[in-house]
Amino acid sequence: MNLLIATPNAVVIRQDDVLAVEAEDETGAFGIWPHHADFVTALSISVVGWRRRGGGQSYCAVRGGLFSVSGGQTVSIATREAIPGDDLAALQAVVRDRLAADAESDRQASTRAEQLRVQAIRQVIAFLRPNPADAPGGRS
């Protein structure tokens, strides 16, 4: 079988010696073998695994996506993010590090957004605060 895993920015995996593909959707794990009927499902955030001719096993962590089988020979996955790897333990460490970096980036973005919100409120208050010189009986 042929396997294609792509993100909006790149083709991450293009392999043509695939014997079986294992993936996971909201109903659970499933396997695809050559000559499988055409099939489409939405993947969960998970790890897709496949066996290659010659006995090799490969993996790719995906952030959800669309999984399809066409013609019984082509498996395609379109996902927002894909991290390939041949060693499941090493892939787990890479994904964990990426998730930690993403969480830190989100925290920094949230902090900056809050700073901008506070700054905007201060400017609105300063604009709405009456100027003592403009008040009746005020100094000119």
Prediction pTM value: 0.70
Residue 10 shares a structural domain with residue 32:
yes
Q: What is the pLDDT of residues 48-90, one digit of tens each?
A: 999 999 888 999 999 899 999 999 999 999 999 999 988 887 7
Residue 52 shares a structural domain with residue 103:
no
CA atoms of 64 and 25, how far apart (whole Å): 8
Q: Provide the β-strand partners of residue 22.
A: 31, 49
CATH at residue 14:
2.60.15.10
DSSP one-letter string for 64-107:
EEEEEEETTTEEEEE-S-EEEES-HHHHHHHHHHHHHHHHHHHH
Range of the domain at 114: 93-128
pLDDT confidence bin for 5, thresholds 50/70/90: very high
Residue 135 lies in a domain: no
CA atoms of 123 and 85, how far apart (whole Å): 50
